[in-house]
Amino acid sequence: MNKTTPYPPKSAFLPTTKDEIKELGWDQPDVILFSGDAYVDHPSFGAAVIGRTLQSLGLKVAIVPQPNWRDDLRDFKKLGRPRLFFGVSAGAMDSMVNHYTANRRLRHDDAYTPGGKHGMRPDYPTIVYSKILKEIYPDVPVIAGGIEASLRRVSHYDYWQDKLRPSILSEAAADMIVYGMGEKPLTEITRRLKLGEEIKDMKNIPQTVIFSDEKPSEKDIILHSFEDCSKDKKKQAENFRHVEEESNKYEGKVLWQKTGGKMVKINPMYPPLSTKEVDASFDLPYTRLPHPRYKGKNIPAYDMIRHSICMHRGCFGGCAFCTISAHQGKFIASRSKESILKEAKQVVKMHDFKGYISDLGGPSANMYSMGGKNKDICKKCTRPSCLHPKPCRNLDNNHAPLLDVYHSVDALPEVKKSFIGSGVRYDLSMADSGDEKINATNRKYMRELIADHVSGRLKVAPEHTSNRVLDCMRKPSFSLFHRFKNIFDKVNEEKGLRQQLIPYFISSHPACQEEDMAELAAETKKLNFQLEQVQDFTPTPMTLATEIYYTGYHPYTGEKVYTAHTEKEKLAQRSFFFWYKPENKHSIISELRKMGRKDLVAALYDNPPRHHGLLPPYAGNKRKPEAKSGGNSNSRNYNFNNKESYRGRKKR
């Protein structure tokens, strides 16, 4: 769309009303999707990705965004019954992360709703939507997908209800769950439907969850039952290790879990998509715009990514608080440079494009085109992280392909500058590759990143300063952040720049005690930071950190791990982020004296901090949920298709 092209007509989008269906000449849709998000026809929004994928397979697809579940249910009836099935998704975020803060307080906005309006989706839409549809159309199959269904596919701890819940399949009225990135399983489901097979007979499609009366094979893994896990938290911890390891394998095993007297079968993930397959998804005919039904109302999540481009899926960081690998897998599936440039050429033609690509990124900014040097080794690997406890020797961390994409996008005449808004893994770019040529390229990457691709502020995520806490987080030592900061400061000085380095930190994470937060305060003060991007740890389904929080045990060692649980304990930890606020000084000094840490009292209050233009004294805003450049890929994720990057917020 160039500067003078009018807004595309409704016929350019998937239909959302009966009139739009009639205008297309359809008698009946083949598939109707129900989504907790507004309908944005963009590869960062899962409903659009799944709808366009099914459309490319020759199906007639309609979508009902944010249906009203509180009235006479007309939104669930208005399009009638589909020929094949209903698809339901909570949207790009787990609904409870979307609705509530880390303190379980109700949020007052929703980034995926026009105007940011809160209250346009229920708690647990996967359950609510599917039950309504089954009541109205009991004979029509319902397939659930998206981040909420994906990360609740086995027994899981629900922080907001403070209890263990069974697989969401047993609570929803769905016939099947599609988990992870949904194009491939839905393509197979469609193929079988065209051959006359019924959904109830599809027992072995990868990335699906079903009830089954089959007999598990000897190769399968039978998890502890939901009922046993409810009685014994150690059994839940043991289950998690199996779930995480199988989710991160190139070829995982089938998992089974007995729930309520029935067996839930979790088929393994597909192998990672090829570049050709990823390109096919991103190259679908998206308008890249919200549906005209919203009449110009802003949708905050869209506003954040409208001029961004996601370059890959997956993340091999394996952070303990992040769910990306559980949803997208740890293997990187990268787009071709040609596909990325094709999308960039679409972005520059948008009527509001001013010359700046807001993000060339992904779940992590700098994992594009990376993977194992020897793929056979990767196929046998069970490590959840390729970077922790130290970078894998088989990892190819060459940043040359990424630099090539940056240079090619920046060479487009309409592009003044491309920025990197996704979180950068500096430990990845600083890791010794064993090849001096690659090491030199990676040093070049860091210099170019800092000099040419920062829009004033570069976001990185050291997360903590304590090595013990960082080890539990599966993050590198804070000493590496010192090294990266030195590089950042040096490049800024050489280039005459005054850019800001924005570090992200988490309090109340498993293994973190109040004294660790006190030392974090002193350490960051020495670096002249008054912290802005901070948050309390939020337990979200299917993360290592959540399992430790709930069970009290580390699933891989069986050892007990302390975690702050009460509001008082969490507030005490969080207050150290804001040691500089006058209202916190008295209580912090009192706590430090109780710890016997007069040295930290002196470190924090004897000398005022110096800022040197590095970071102004921000009041320390709380991290809010945010959209990322990764529709098809990124971190809150999306419908049947997308990853959420979230740790209760977004992944960094």
CATH code (residue 122)? 3.40.50.280
Mean of the per-residue pLDDT values of the chain: 92
Q: pLDDT grade, residue 296 (50/70/90)?
A: confident
Domain presence at residue 515: yes
**Last residue of a domain, which of 605, 629, 646?**
605
194 and 319 share one domain: no
> For residue 292, what pLDDT band results from cuts at 50, 70 and 90?
very high
The confidence band for 641, taking pLDDT boundaries of 50, 70 and 90, is very low
Is the pLDDT higher at 547 or at 630? 547
**102 located within any domain:** yes
Q: Is the torsion defined by CA of 463, 466, 469, 475 positive or negative?
A: positive
Residue 6 confidence (pLDDT): 75
Tell me the pLDDT band of 303, cut-offs 50, 70 and 90: very high
Order of all β-strands in the sheet with 61-65: 61-65, 31-35, 85-89, 142-145, 176-178, 208-211, 262-266, 255-259, 221-222
pLDDT number for residue 79? 98
Residue 522 exposed, middle or buried by CB count within 10 Å (0-12, 13-18, 19+): buried
Q: Are residues 280 and 191 in the same domain?
A: no
pLDDT of 649 reads: 35
Same domain, residue pair 466 and 318: yes
Question: Does pLDDT of 187 surpass 60?
Answer: yes
Q: What is the mean pLDDT of residues 581-601?
A: 96
Asked if the structure places residue 461 within a domain, the reply is yes
Are residues 399 and 501 both part of a single domain? Answer: yes
CATH of the domain at 323: 3.80.30.20
Instruction: Establish whether the linkage from the previous residue to 389 is cis, with ω within 30° of 0.
Output: yes
Report residue 21: phi and psi, to 5°.
Answer: -65, -45
Q: Are residues 348 and 439 in the same domain?
A: yes
Domain co-membership, 562 together with 451: yes
Domain boundaries, position 579: 275-285+309-605
Torsion-angle region of 542 (φ positive above 0: left; ψ -120 to 50: alpha; else: beta):
left
CA-wise closest residue to 67 among 32, 43, 96, 22: 32
CB 63 within 8 A of CB 13: no
Segment 188-208, tens digit of pLDDT: 999 999 999 999 999 999 999
Look at residue 153 and tell me if it is in a domain.
yes
Q: Is residue 23 part of a domain?
A: yes
With beta carbons less than 8 A apart as the criterion, state whether 237 and 553 touch. yes
* Shared-domain flag, residues 441 and 579: yes
What is the mean pLDDT of the segment spanning 224-230? 98
pLDDT of residue 630: 40
Give the Cα separation of 546 and 539 in Å (integer): 5
User: What pLDDT digit, counting tens, does each position of 390-440 carry?
Assistant: 999 999 999 999 999 999 999 999 999 999 999 899 999 999 999 999 999
**Where among 199, 222, 253 does a domain terminate?**
199
Please check the confidence at residue 529 and state whether its pLDDT lies above 80: yes
Cβ partners under 8 Å of residue 562, min gap 6: 510, 511, 513
Rounded to two decimals, the pTM is 0.92
Is residue 158 domain-shared with residue 280, that is, in the same domain?
no
Per the structure, how many domains does the chain have?
2
Residue 10 has pLDDT above 70, yes or no: yes
Average pLDDT estimate for 263-277: 97
Judgement on whether residues 355 and 465 belong to the same structural domain of the protein: yes
Query: Does 222 map to a domain?
Result: no
Band of pLDDT at residue 610, cut at 50, 70 and 90: low
Is residue 177 domain-shared with residue 281, that is, in the same domain? no
Residue 640 has pLDDT above 60, yes or no: no
The per-residue pLDDT for range 36-66, each reduced to its tens digit, is: 999 999 999 999 999 999 999 999 999 999 9
pLDDT for res 2? 47
Local structure of 287: helix, strand or coil: coil
Is 322 found in the same domain as 185?
A: no
Instruction: Inform me whether the pLDDT recorded for 251 exceeds 60.
Output: yes
68: region left, alpha or beta (phi > 0 left; psi from -120 to 50 alpha): beta
Residue that is last in its domain, among 199, 234, 259: 199
Q: Calculate the alpha carbon distances from 647 to 93, 244, 376, 385 in Å.
A: 11, 15, 31, 16
Report residue 599's pLDDT band, with 50, 70 and 90 as the boundaries. very high
CB 397 within 8 A of CB 390: no
Say if residue 638's pLDDT is above 50.
Answer: no
Residue 459's pLDDT band (boundaries 50, 70, 90)? Answer: confident
Residue 643 lies in a domain: no
Question: Does residue 188 share a domain with residue 281?
Answer: no
Is residue 440 situated within a structural domain?
yes
Q: What is the CA radius of gyration of the chain?
A: 24
